Structure formats: structure tokens, C-alpha cells
Amino acid sequence: MLTDHLALEQIAPSIGSIGDAYDNALMETINGVYKAECVRTTIFHDGPYKTIADVEFATAGWVDWYNHRRLHGSLGMVSPDEFEAAYYAALNPEPLPA
């Protein structure tokens, strides 16, 4: 049914074949990292979660850390912020004194 309709409209499906997990691989990886680093530890919260607000606050802290301060192996063990700053500094070097 869905396959026939997509073919009729000349639309390529965006879902994988049976047993093909590649479509969700990145999301599954992030979910696993989030659970290991935020949910199953008390680094981003104190004690057990008691309310949805507790989860939201811990998640916001983890996302901020993950996007700005974590040391990243493929970036030479610097944070994404440091790497980005160095990248843009290299693109726009300060002029040398004349």
C-alpha cells in the first residue's frame, strides 16, 4: 500500500529495508550517550529524578556541556567551542604589524 503509493507519486522511501538500522544509527548513538552520561549518573542532577522538571534541567545541562565544553577525541581533545574559535581565528588571522 504505502510502497505502491510512493511509487505512483515517484517518491523514494526514506526508510531502510527490513533489518537495516542505518537510518537511525546517529540517533541511537546519541540516545545511548545521553543515557550513559546524563540519565544514569548524577553529574547533571542530584539524586533521583522526581519530576519532569528535574529531567528537563539535567538534560539542558547535558546538552550545554555536550555542545560547548566536552573534550572531543576527533577534535584533538579540545572542546567544540575551543575548536571552533581556533578554526575561525585561522580563517581571519590578525594582520602583522608593518
Q: How confident is the model at residue 14, as a pLDDT? A: 66
Residue type, 18: I
| Alpha-helical runs (H) found in 1-98 | 2-8, 25-34, 52-68, 80-91
Task: Give the Cα-Cα-Cα angle 86, 61, 30 (nearest 5 degrees).
Answer: 75
Across 3-7, 28-32, 38-42, 79-83, least confident range: 3-7
Question: What is the Cα–Cα distance from 75 to 69, expressed in whole angstroms?
Answer: 12
Q: How confident is the model at residue 10, as a pLDDT? A: 86
Question: What is the Cα–Cα distance from 35 to 76, expressed in whole angstroms?
Answer: 25
Q: How confident is the model at residue 40, as a pLDDT? A: 93
Residue 98 grid cell: 608593518
pTM: 0.64
What are residue 39's phi and psi, to 5 degrees?
-75, -45
Each residue's pLDDT tens digit, 19-75:
555 667 778 889 999 999 999 999 999 889 999 999 999 999 999 999 999 998 999
